[in-house]
Structure 1
Amino acid sequence: MWRWYSNIWYRNIFGLLTLCLIFGFIQYTSIGDKTIREIVLEMVPAITLIYFLIYINNVFIIKRFLLNKKYESFLIWFVVYVVFSVFCLSQYSLYTGEFKSLILEITNTLFFTILGTGTYFIHQWAFQNITLRERKLANTVAELDFLKMQLNPHFLLNAMNNLYGEALTNPNDTPNRILQLSHLFRYQIEASKKEEVRLELEIDFVNEYLDYYKFSSDTLVVHIDYQGNLESYSVPPLLFFSLVENAVKFSLQTEQPAIAIQWKEEEEKIYFEITNSCLPIDKQKKGTGLGLNNLKRRLEVSGINARFSVEGQKNSYKAKLTLWGLNTTV
């Protein structure tokens, strides 16, 4: 039900049908000499017009100006809206032959505007509370998943094996490797407890994670490109980690592992693109798919606008994540 309600088209169609049923029932019980067809032909155009005017006020005036505290613009556009609504309702009344006075049309306009605005604020309150609850739930699940990942014996075993080999061949670098590993664990634990982190911290974490594997694998080639003002935005924590983790895992299965990452900010949008080498599908070691499923779920309930896509070819795999409407840092 929440997915249906969160879709603006389903929600408005349902609201319009509900109003038609309510007013249709009222007219059917109060006016006995009219058929249902006559009631529908009289009622549906009027309700549709009123609903359309209320929708314009809520979405294009209330949401864009009043809720963003642009009060002067709101007053100007609200006056324009009232004049336009009175004109439309008056013309409709003249067309149906039910026009009585301009004062009555102004009163009807204000009444429906107040009613529609009140309903919209109730919707905003319910929507924000449900979204906040869903976001907290998703963050809690993500925190548990990441905490479990920290204790994953395979990851720790690989790290210890790498450190053991490095301690034998190059003991002078072992302290730095231990420190790097502890930084990765610490950031994962601390960031997973927050709702948002600075994007530059996420980028630093991704870079340090890749450096860790570049040091472990002499053949891994990583190319990273930065464009735009990436320091001004905040994102949900560890949002890109599953994509980077998958890229490392599948690229290391190849003889010439390679990863290319592009971070781009343009027109208040963040574009993240990661491409990695991989074996053909029939030769790959299959994963659980849990990381990508968690990412899609977090994007769904995070409250931010996002677009995610993947593109698999014979020897490469590309994932794209676009974010907009993000909070900015001071």
Structure 2
Amino acid sequence: MIDFLKKYKAFLIGFLIIIPLFILLDYINVLNIPNDQPVEVIVITVFWALVVGLPIHNYQYLKRKKKAVIGITALFVLFFITIVIDSFMKLPDNPITFILLIIFWCGLAYFLVPNFIKKYWKFIALLYTPLLLYFFYLRLFSGDLEAYLKVKQETPFYIFFLPIPIFFFLWIFEQWKWVQELKKEKSKTELSLLKTQINPHFFFNTLNNLYALTVKNSPQAPEVILKLSDMMRYTIYDGEKETVKISEEIEYLNNYIELHKIRYKKSVEITFNHDIDTNLNIPPLLYIILLENAFKHGIETLAENAFIHINLYEDNNFIYFDIENNFDASELNNSKGIGLQNLERRLSLLYNQQHELSISSKNNIYKTQLKIPKHA
């Protein structure tokens, strides 16, 4: 609410200007505020507050648009000329004055909110055309001036101002929608950036492993290259998708595990159990950072009896990824890697705090659980 008020404070300023001004003009008898027509007074006050607030709200836009400023200035000149003509002719609800005022208001709205007017001009015309035709009928064809003034007293003329709040709130809705789309686009951009940060980080470690095998002329090198090729294909093509089948993610993780098993000479126990509907959809590359950390900070630190236990399962509403590994405490680096930071940021963007990522360490065993809602 506070952010909303800050964004549209110009309209609050409009009220703070118009209300004291109306009171002052009424006090010096320049303006007559009727006490028996509160609805009309409120509607007209809101209308003029919006008129004053719009240029203030669009101040930065007007600074950049000199043509718009010139156009608005010309419109206000037209407005004052219209008022002078109306005062000189002393004709109640002069149709000529009315037409000139319509030109003024339409022109002002177009210069201040051009995109809104272009988008909703049909809706505006649909609301105002019957009202204008009704006015001209009463003013020109309902009889003489006395008959018109009598009808006017019996007719709630504030109906001509009622569409103004409708358009204002419609404009507010358009602003809100634009902000949401901007946030969504920003989130997509950040997600894309985070993926590009994750992938090089992972492949940097994998290529180091491959380099060690090629230096030793290991016969396992071709198999590593093939698995790495499959993983790169998944990362580059499937990683750009919003969601993938969880079966594809499982295969990706299995490839990663097998790739690491090839180079280990020590005793390593790795289990990966998955009791889950493989047709479920999840965002791609969601678990690789957690698995990578289990290898990097677990198996890599131990000379023997290293293990990684992985469980992937579901309940009615959530998907769970549990990973547990042991480590050598003397070799543990407590700094938070970029991979985990990126994962946390990505989860926040994807699930808006509907997920849970819990990490614990006890008795040289590292446990991590990622809980995410099932994809719709």
TM-score, normalising length from structure 2?
0.51
Could you say if the C-alpha distance between residues 149 and 260 of structure 1 is closer, same or farther in structure 2, counting changes exceeding 3 Å?
closer
Alpha-carbon distance in structure 2 between the residues aligned to 1:110 and 1:319 = 57
Q: Gaps (5+ residues) in structure 2?
A: 27-161
Higher relative contact order (CA 8 A, sep 6+): 1
Q: Amino acid of the residue matched to residue 201 of structure 1?
A: E
Could you say if the C-alpha distance between residues 138 and 16 of structure 1 is closer, same or farther in structure 2, counting changes exceeding 3 Å?
same
Deviation by residue 1:102-142 (Cα, 9 ceiling, x = unmatched): xxxxxxx9997886566345423321233223312431453
Instruction: Verify the 8 A CA contact 2:231 2:252 in the aligned structure 1.
Output: yes
Q: 2:229 — aligned with what?
A: 182
Which of 283, 291, 296 is matched with 2:331 structurally? 283
Over the aligned positions, Cα root-mean-square deviation in angstroms equals 4.3
Alpha-carbon distance in structure 2 between the residues aligned to 1:227 and 1:22 = 62
SS class of match (1:238): coil
Instruction: Verify the 8 A CA contact 1:305 1:325 in the aligned structure 2.
Output: no
Alpha-carbon distance in structure 1 between the residues aligned to 2:240 and 2:251 = 18
Could you say if the C-alpha distance between residues 113 and 222 of structure 1 is closer, same or farther in structure 2, counting changes exceeding 3 Å?
farther
Could you say if the C-alpha distance between residues 119 and 259 of structure 1 is closer, same or farther in structure 2, counting changes exceeding 3 Å?
farther
Which of 194, 210, 213 is matched with 2:257 structurally? 210
What pairs up with 1:208-287 in 2 under 5 angstroms? 208-217=255-264, 218-235=266-283, 237-252=284-299, 253-254=301-302, 255-280=304-329, 283-285=331-333
Instruction: Verify the 8 A CA contact 1:247 1:276 in the aligned structure 2.
Output: yes
Alpha-carbon distance in structure 1 between the residues aligned to 2:10 and 2:313 = 45
Q: 2:132 — aligned with what?
A: none
What pairs up with 1:82-231 in 2 under 5 angstroms? 119-143=172-196, 146-147=199-200, 149-150=202-203, 152=204, 155-162=206-213, 167=218, 171=219, 175-217=222-264, 218-231=266-279
SS class of match (1:313): strand
Alpha-carbon distance in structure 2 between the residues aligned to 1:18 and 1:214 = 64
Tell me the CA shift for residue 226 of structure 1. Answer: 2.6
Instruction: State, as a whole percentage, how many aligned pairs show the same letter.
Output: 23
Alpha-carbon distance in structure 1 between the residues aligned to 2:163 and 2:234 = 54
Deviation by residue 1:162-216 (Cα, 9 ceiling, x = unmatched): 466683xxx4x66434322322233233344444433322221112111222333
TM-score, normalising length from structure 1?
0.57
Alpha-carbon distance in structure 1 between the residues aligned to 2:180 and 2:345 = 18
Residue correspondences, number: 245
Tell me the CA shift for residue 260 of structure 1. Answer: 2.2
What pairs up with 1:292-303 in 2 under 5 angstroms? 292-302=340-350
Alpha-carbon distance in structure 2 between the residues aligned to 1:293 and 1:263 = 22
SS class of match (1:231): coil
Alpha-carbon distance in structure 2 between the residues aligned to 1:160 and 1:146 = 18
Instruction: Verify the 8 A CA contact 2:243 2:281 in the aligned structure 1.
Output: no
Instruction: Verify the 8 A CA contact 1:268 1:325 in the aligned structure 2.
Output: yes
Could you say if the C-alpha distance between residues 312 and 232 of structure 1 is closer, same or farther in structure 2, counting changes exceeding 3 Å?
closer
SS class of match (1:239): coil
Alpha-carbon distance in structure 2 between the residues aligned to 1:24 and 1:324 = 48
Deviation by residue 1:262-305 (Cα, 9 ceiling, x = unmatched): 3233334322222222232x531455611111112223334665
Alpha-carbon distance in structure 1 between the residues aligned to 2:5 and 2:276 = 40
Could you say if the C-alpha distance between residues 24 and 190 of structure 1 is closer, same or farther in structure 2, counting changes exceeding 3 Å?
same
